[in-house]
Amino acid sequence: MKVLDCSIIKEKAYIEELDNGLKVIIVPKKDTNKKYVIWGTNFGSIDNRFINPDTKEEVFVPDGVAHFLEHKMFEQPDGSNSLDTMMALGLDANAYTTNDHTAYLFECSDDESFYKGLDELMDYVQSPYYTDQNVEKEKGIIGQEIMMYDDDPGFQLYLNTLKCLYSKCPIRIDIAGTIESISKINPDVLYKCYNTFYNPSNMVLVASGNFEPDEILKEIKNRLKPSKNKGKIERIFDKEPEEVNQKHMEKTMSISMPVFMIGIKDKSVEVSEKVKRHMAIDIILGILIGKSSKLYKELYEKQIVFGELDSEYEFSREYAHILISGQSNNPQLVEKMFKEEVEKLKKAGLNSEDFDRVKRKVYGDFVTEFNDVASISRMFLADTIKQINSFDYAEKYNLVTKEYAMQVLNEVFNEDKMVLSIIKGN
């Protein structure tokens, strides 16, 4: 096994790429009795066009397939449900779908339950079972979920921001799809996607907890079914324009206080640059609108915003953007003041004291993630899908200089790449 030793934060990761292409990552944590396993596939909501590895033909699948397939993975031919089986073992089990991956997971503290859970997890993920009857039944369940999110102001705010930012990238489409799109899903579509994307060569399994790396690797290998490494999957995406799709979107819903989201469209950069850019953007956001920033204090004291502002940088293979959200009776004023603060910062430059203070906080937030086996496992899975090494956030910390952050500020935080989404009350 390859050993990644991050001496800065005193953590190690053991990595093995098996003959079938599955990447296994083990992060031992000797000071906990918790054990966490997550098995993910590099298949998310944006992967709706690809070349079938067997037929070499282009395939276009309905929106929402990755999420629909995740729902159907638990159902077994004998009528049982693997999620129920794992819960009955006392495991904290779940699954989720994102824009770029799907994951199946469980957490527990007991050795005996852990290995029974591993049996079940690795069995159901490798044993798809789709019939006309169970697929039709699921359409009703997922249809209700779609309607529930249609009534969720926070989700609609997020989705509308993405629709403003992107005109071609499928990230602008709801992960669950639409009632119309899921109506086109059938067992053939699901098996086609499963056989393409659930090949071990397109998957990553991460285990974190009180493990001996060699022992847990052996247990994982013993539970793998024979499969052929199909290699890299060719995905097809329309070229996304650099400019934003539209600058502003408003929607009226039943809420007492308007909520807003400012989006900033970024470009996808080389893999070697992604971690540095992520850290630089987090630092800039902390300086601009963090709890101790001048702008946030003014917005809060003048009651222009209520509560803290949330911010994050989302990026993957096909997209990258900044999202800033909060509650305000005057979202347009918040946007105006934010843009003015960005221009002031560009002209004045980054203050060394502010830069160092926020940089330490960003680093501290990263290190804190290593206190929890769930955070560790999810982080390594998501980062591996993005083709980056989670330890790089510690290793490249000192490479994020004030000069580099200024370069990113000038390159990314531009008014023509900013959009505003608002959900207001009836």
| Digitized pLDDT (tens) for each residue of the chain, 426 residues in all | 999 999 999 999 999 999 999 999 999 999 899 999 999 999 999 999 999 988 899 999 999 999 999 999 999 999 899 999 999 999 999 999 999 999 999 999 988 899 999 999 999 999 999 999 999 999 999 999 999 999 999 999 999 999 999 999 999 999 999 999 999 999 999 999 999 999 999 999 999 999 999 999 999 999 999 998 988 999 999 999 999 999 999 999 999 999 999 999 999 899 999 999 999 999 999 999 999 999 999 999 999 999 999 999 999 989 999 999 999 999 999 999 999 999 999 999 999 999 999 999 999 999 999 999 999 999 999 999 999 999 999 999 999 999 999 999 999 999 999 999 999 998
Crossing angle of helices 153-165 and 132-150, rounded to 10°: 90
The helix (H) or strand (E) run that includes residue 336 is helix 331-348
CA atoms within 13 A on the CB side of 86: 26
Neighbours of 157 (CB within 10 A): 22
- The greatest distance separating any two alpha carbons of the chain, rounded to the nearest whole angstrom, comes to 67
CA angle 389/393/398 to nearest 5° reads: 130
Start-to-end CA distance of the chain, whole Å, equals 59
* Residue 74, amino acid: F
In this prediction the pTM is 0.95
Select from 337, 280, 282, 339 the least CA-distant residue to 312: 282
List domains and CATH numbers for the chain. Answer: 2-222 (3.30.830.10), 248-425 (3.30.830.10)
Task: Say how far apart CA 339 and CA 181 lie, in whole Å.
Answer: 38
Residue with tokens 């531009």: 414
pLDDT at 426: 82
Cα dist. 214→22, 120, 203, 220, 377 in Å? 16, 21, 20, 10, 18
Active site residues: 70
Handedness of CA 212, 40, 135, 59 (dihedral sign): negative
